[in-house]
Amino acid sequence: MKKYVFGIDIGGTTIKMGLFKSEGILEETWEIPTRTQDGGSLILTDIANGISNKLNEKGISKDEIEGIGLGVPGPVSEDGTVFKCVNLGWGVINVEKKLEELTGLKVKAGNDANVAALGEMWKGGGKGYKNVVMVTLGTGVGGGIIIDEKIVSGANGAGGEIGHIHMNDDESETCGCGKRGCLEQYASATGIVKYANKLMDEVDTPSVLRKIEYISAKAIFEGAKEGDLLSLEIIEFFGKKLGKALSYITCVCDPEVIVIGGGVSKAGEIIINTVSKYYKQYAFHAARNTKFALAELGNEAGMFGGAKLIIK
């Protein structure tokens, strides 16, 4: 291995960039804006320029760089082809080949959620394990599956799309993917709040939530921790949906640990306790004792995972 690698996480607003030593030590991080105009044609050039500027600033030669690992918010095939990335304005583009041409360095790319899962396996909540499922709970529900320290991306780059596991035949509202009844509609921050509003219309249970003009998932979890009955009912609904979905996943890939991350995971142990309770209820007996852990790397998981794509 050469001395350094770059780990990069492309977001819809900013691109997080990290310079790592090849033994996995994060040396420096910085961000550049994600310029999505002109069909996202500026993004890879901006990344190449950001890397070049950092090398000049630090007095590092390209000969000291092992490569660039990249997380992309869309499906990525094994050869580095992105099949449409709406948030960036990309159609079909081989990001590995293009960025290699711009930088003269080896590039490896993956879906951002999968890459973040790899980062958590390596240096975060899944550290010490080789087989990890990560689920990220935010505005939506994302995830990644790592088997024997390798990302499971699948034939179309759609491996790990945990948020779109079908959970409800009777759902009338449409998920962002165009289908109905996806896990994302119940276990995301958006889904938790939507269920809370629905439940408050249906029942008369007194609750601290009724005093809040705009309810958030954070407020619901805080209410549950304080023993608010309506908040607890909402969290039980969320936990049952997510626990059941995770039991489906472990029947297929049998991980050693399930790591829960994303903004909702900041609620802490109440999530682990509620979800694992329902998980054990539905899981296949051989996988019933799968460990649960909270993610630890936060917004840096994608950079760490990008670096790990290069570091063997």
CATH number for the domain spanning 74: value is: 3.30.420.40
Phi, psi of 13, deg, nearest 5: -110, -45
Q: Does 212 share its domain with 183? A: yes
Q: Does 89 share its domain with 142? A: no
pTM value is 0.91
Q: List the alpha helices (DSSP H) in the chain.
A: 37-40, 43-58, 95-103, 112-123, 184-187, 189-202, 217-225, 229-253, 269-282, 301-310
Q: Does 157 share its domain with 245? A: yes
110: amino acid identity, one letter:
G
Q: Does 110 share its domain with 231? A: no
Q: Does 283 share its domain with 148? A: yes
Cα 175–chain centre separation = 18
Number of domains in the chain: 2
User: Tokens at residue 173, please?
Assistant: 């509202």
Q: Does 100 share its domain with 155? A: no
Cα–Cα distance for residue pair 110/174, rounded to 1 Å: 27
Q: Does 285 share its domain with 305? A: no
Q: Which domain holds residue 14?
A: 4-120+300-310
Q: Does 284 share its domain with 201? A: yes
Q: Does 134 share its domain with 270? A: yes
Q: Measuring CA to CA, how many Å separate 149 from each of 6, 95, 132, 233, 247?
A: 19, 23, 8, 37, 21
Q: Does 218 share its domain with 195? A: yes
Tens digit of pLDDT at every position of the chain (312 positions):
899 999 999 998 999 999 999 999 999 999 999 999 999 999 999 999 999 999 999 999 999 999 999 999 888 888 999 988 888 999 999 999 999 999 999 999 999 999 999 999 999 999 999 999 999 999 889 899 999 999 998 887 788 899 999 999 999 999 988 999 999 999 999 999 999 999 999 999 999 999 999 999 999 999 999 999 999 999 999 999 999 999 999 999 999 999 999 999 999 999 999 999 999 999 999 999 999 999 999 999 999 999 999 998
Contacts of 227 (CB under 8 A, 6+ apart): none
Q: Does 208 share its domain with 165? A: yes
